[in-house]
Structure 1
């Protein structure tokens, strides 16, 4: 993956998470450094124009096939670089095709035909070496590909021992030492393989009688060594990307925008939705004096990031600046929804049963674990949530009756069990009061995390009613805030340009605008 030759000239720097009490132009500039944006304070005025960040939407651009392929390559490099940088466990594994896959069947048939021909030729009298020479040439190229640029001595040795022209001459005179060549190949593989492959090399050295079987195993181990080499390169790249990943991702994204018309449409719509929501919720100050409210950039972005947490992937395309994190966002969202439902169940139990189960942490923990297990996989297509909640309510009634009778309390009456079951099953309804309460308080929790300039991932107090899932919230909060911070660092220039156009297009700022923590007012022209 290209790095150094494709970096932008600017250098990345951290963002300033200042409050919304700064002046509008200063706060926009603080989203990223001027060296990153190449946009001065004047670029955020009503008549300013951005030097950076957005693609041209006019006139329409017609892409050639080469440009499409180049854009696809840029997107692949961007996605790969992002994955290596943010996922510490990212690595490649030996690819495996599913059973009954047509490609797998065809591949097995072709390989079987090759090995059968090789075995037939070597068993001829005198032996034929046509397929064997092809095999040796492939092995030589693979071995050479494993070497570092400075390994000249080993490179020369491999070229001398696996000299294909010399082997062809030996084949013409029936003087090819195929077993000796295989032994040399195994020895060379042992010198350059990763330590994890020592066991495989040892098995190769056991030297089976069937030379065809030996070469099959050699190729199997070579394939594993290829994966090892790629993973070693990924590990090395991670060190570079930790220093230069922000610049690289931003430059790659800009390359995509340069070739793609309307490349930020979904991102613009996403931010515009946050602007409209805030504008409808805030009563402008000084309206009677002909002034108009101007929202702060961080206020807009924080609202937009909160929307990402509850994004409906089935109805709306994800903003272009978030596509590299789509799988992580889906996983966070699904885990959060499951935690919320577990919390809702526990709230219903405690509010319905009351005193006999209050203060029993061991019982709450048991009910929490049981409910989590029964709701595991609730987002899979074939999962029946209503049926699962029926099972949850039945199990909870059993556990409650057991706990109550052990402590000399009367068991739950059939009527109370029916009420409990009905309330638990009703949380699938979007207008359920318990569900609305929990979702609102979870939103409050994440709003605090996103808005906190010090990025604390676990405030000292969480909203009341969420105590049961506090550890899970802290973990998901840390993961989500980490994504938000990195996303803001990479795409801050693009967001700044979009917000400037949305906010100032109809609201030119005054020379000395009044300041407010929630919004800013500027005189209308």
Structure 2
């Protein structure tokens, strides 16, 4: 997919010579286009934005809110189609005993019962049947390709509703014959995967059951056509995605000026952390103010992206610019938490009994598989992590003792086993040194990936202690870098505006004007 563009990395220990040139050069890599001609000069960035000169607050109407919501829904759908190769529409399956399922069944059954009673009447009534045939005709026509003019004309001729209505008035409608024609036409239009479904459609004595099954298969054919169109459009959407999303988000921003508030706060946290880090390394009076322009925008933004891998989804909402990737980022975060614990367990095991288990790779792999299984679903609220860690500890001791006995060696004494289980159980306690160490090393690795010119061709070295999860971490890191790269391409101009104000603006951090009038 065309979303792995190379990006430029600005090192922490290489601040730029001037605030304006540094921001301009660094932010250029966030987007594949100019930032709408916006000035990056130090003069413009240093102008204060007083309340008197600021734009008046915009009153947002209900229609504008709904328009912004529609834009966001459309943008999210297009983004999902473009970046998710396995995305497809699926038939809705309601829980069998749910209220919605029962109501739907009752309503549908009532409709088919009415149709059956009409057709069994003497003389038969065709009002509902004609409406069904009209709907079937429209569905068949919608499944045609632009070149299917001959079949289109035939469908319109055979399923001529006016003619069928006239026939009904004289009791001359051949419902079974029309059903046979519909089934034959469906066989010409369906995807190969539906051939068996079409063959099962046979006109029997109960025409109502046949019509019901025809509608069921037509629903499946509609899904097939929609998914075919999705696959056909995906390459085009991938080429146009950056411009499309950027334009749509600008429309959202115009309708909802506060649509970048959470994004601004997210980036502001990284700015303040970097300023605090600089202030702690210098004792010069006023060093914080003088160091502010020297912050690297790329470094600040990459640190913001790192925060997403430690996000608390129960308490915090993602920045607006990451909403279209929320599911993917959350999935990666949850998987990363599991990998962290597995790395911690491996490190504790190696530290305590490494001399005994050294040179036994099969044992290490078996212990990893056990931990992975027992940690499945660890991000659910109902998951008892402490109990799972205790179980992993007990099972680890069992496997180690089993391996030692097979080799005629002495098993672990009870004190070592208790110590091992206890250290496993305490991994997630506050300020646990093993957890902190592994977390820092993983953050260092992902940060190196974000700064790497081309992670696909060459990856930075894996920090020590992470060998047990190296393969999974490399895959996860590359997936995350792909998300970040696309996000930078789409929202680069918006990030540039925010960083310009946070790094160089004289107004208070957190009161950045993100309305269109600021552009």
Is the pair's TM-score, using the shorter chain for normalization, greater than 0.5?
Answer: yes
Contact 1:28–1:44 (Cα < 8 Å) also in 2: no
Distance 1:412 1:35 in 2: 63
Alpha-carbon distance in structure 2 between the residues aligned to 1:428 and 1:191: 60
In structure 2, what is the Cα distance between the partners aligned to 1:492 and 1:138? 47
1:19 aligns with 2:15: no
Q: 1:87 aligns with which of 80, 84, 94?
A: 84
Q: What is the CA-CA distance between 1:423 and the residue it aligns to?
A: 0.7
Q: Deviations over 1:222-262 (max 9, x none)?
A: 11011111111211221111111100011011100000021
Query: Quick one: distance in 2 between partners of 1:286 and 1:428?
Result: 36
How far 1:313 moved relative to its partner?
1.9
Output aligned runs, 1:167-206, within 5 Å.
167-204=164-201, 206=202
Aligned to 2:423, the other structure's residue is in SS state helix
CA–CA distance in structure 1, aligned partners of residues 426 and 144 of structure 2: 63
The answer to whether 1:78 aligns with 2:75 is yes
Deviation per residue, 1:118-165 (Å, 9 max, x gap):
112222232221211111111111112222344333222222111111
* Separation in structure 1 between the aligned mates of residue 339 and residue 458 of structure 2, nearest angstrom: 16
Correspondence list, 1:25-40, <5 A: 25-28=23-26, 30-32=28-30, 35-40=33-38
Residue among 209, 214, 219 paired with 1:223 = 219
Would you say 1:140 and 2:131 are equivalent positions?
no
Query: Which of 223, 240, 264 is the aligned partner of 1:268?
Result: 264
Q: Determine the structure 2 residue equivalent to 1:312.
A: 312
CA contact (8 A) 1:430 1:436 kept: no
Q: Residue 242 of structure 1 corresponds to which residue in structure 2?
A: 238
Q: Is the 8 A contact 2:452 2:459 kept in 1?
A: no
Kept in 2, the 8 Å contact 1:189–1:201? The answer is: yes
Spell out the pairing of 1:400-415 with structure 2 (5 A cutoff): 400-415=400-415
1:413–1:373 distance in 2 versus 1, CA, 3 Å: same
What's the offset of the Cα at 1:181? 0.4
Change (3 A) 1:44 1:491: farther
Question: How far does residue 419 in structure 1 lie from its aligned partner after superposition?
Answer: 0.8
Contact 1:28 1:297 in 2 (8 A): yes
Unaligned runs of 5+ in 2: 48-52, 508-519
Gaps of 5+ in 1: 1-11, 51-55, 508-525
Structure 2 counterparts to residues 124-163 of structure 1, below 5 A: 124-163=121-160
CA distance, structure 1, for counterparts of residue 79 and residue 491 of structure 2: 13
Give the CA deviation at 1:31.
Answer: 2.8
Distance 1:456 1:285 in 2: 38
Q: What does 1:276-291 align with in structure 2 at a 5 Å threshold? A: 276-282=272-278
1:418 Cα deviation from its structure 2 partner: 0.9
| Alignment partner, residue 477 of structure 1 | 477
Task: Kindly report which structure 2 residues correspond to 1:362-441, keeping only aligned pairs within 5 A, or say none.
Answer: 362-441=362-441
RMSD, matched Cα: 2.5
2-side partners of 1:433 and 1:29: how far apart?
A: 37
TM-score in terms of structure 2 length: 0.89
Whether the 8 Å CA contact 2:259–2:320 is kept in 1: the answer is yes
**TM-fit CA distance, 1:459:** 2.9
1:28–1:286 Cα change, 3 Å: farther
- Mapped to 1, the partners of 2:455 and 2:214 lie a distance apart of 52
Question: For 1:208 and 1:65, how far apart are their aligned partners in 2?
Answer: 54
Q: Does structure 1 retain, via aligned residues, the 8 Å contact 2:134–2:159?
A: yes
- Output the CA distance in 2 between the equivalents of 1:35 and 1:330: 29
**Post-superposition CA distance 1:478-524 (Å, at most 9, x none):** 111111111111111111111011111149xxxxxxxxxxxxxxxxx
Decide whether aligned partners of structure 1 residues 32 and 492 sit closer, same or farther in structure 2, where only a CA change above 3 A counts.
same
Structure 1 match to 2:336: 336
Give the equivalent residue in structure 1 for 2:42. 45
Rounded Cα–Cα distance in structure 2 between residues aligned with 1:312 and 1:161: 60
Please say if residues 302 and 450 of structure 1, whose CA atoms lie closer than 8 Å, have aligned partners that are also in contact: yes
Q: Which residue does the alignment assign to 1:117? A: 114
Mapped partners of 1:481, 1:57: distance in 2: 37
Mapped to 1, the partners of 2:225 and 2:381 lie a distance apart of 38
Cα deviation, residue 86, structure 1: 0.9
The CA distance in 2 between the partners of 1:76 and 1:416, in whole Å, is 56
Structure 2 partner of 1:64: 61
Q: What SS does structure 1 have at the residue aligned with 2:290?
A: strand
Alignment partners' CA distance in 1, 2:225 and 2:314: 39
Change (3 A) 1:316 1:417: same
Could you say what secondary structure the match of 1:490 adopts?
helix
* 1:273-309 deviation digits (Å, cap 9, x = unpaired): 1111111112588967988122111111111111111
Write the distance in 1 (CA, Å) between the matches of 2:83 and 2:153: 40
- Larger RCO (CA under 8 A, 6+ residues apart): 2
Q: 1:86 to 1:13 in 2, by over 3 A?
A: closer
Residue correspondences, number: 489
Aligned to 2:200, what secondary structure does the other structure show?
A: helix
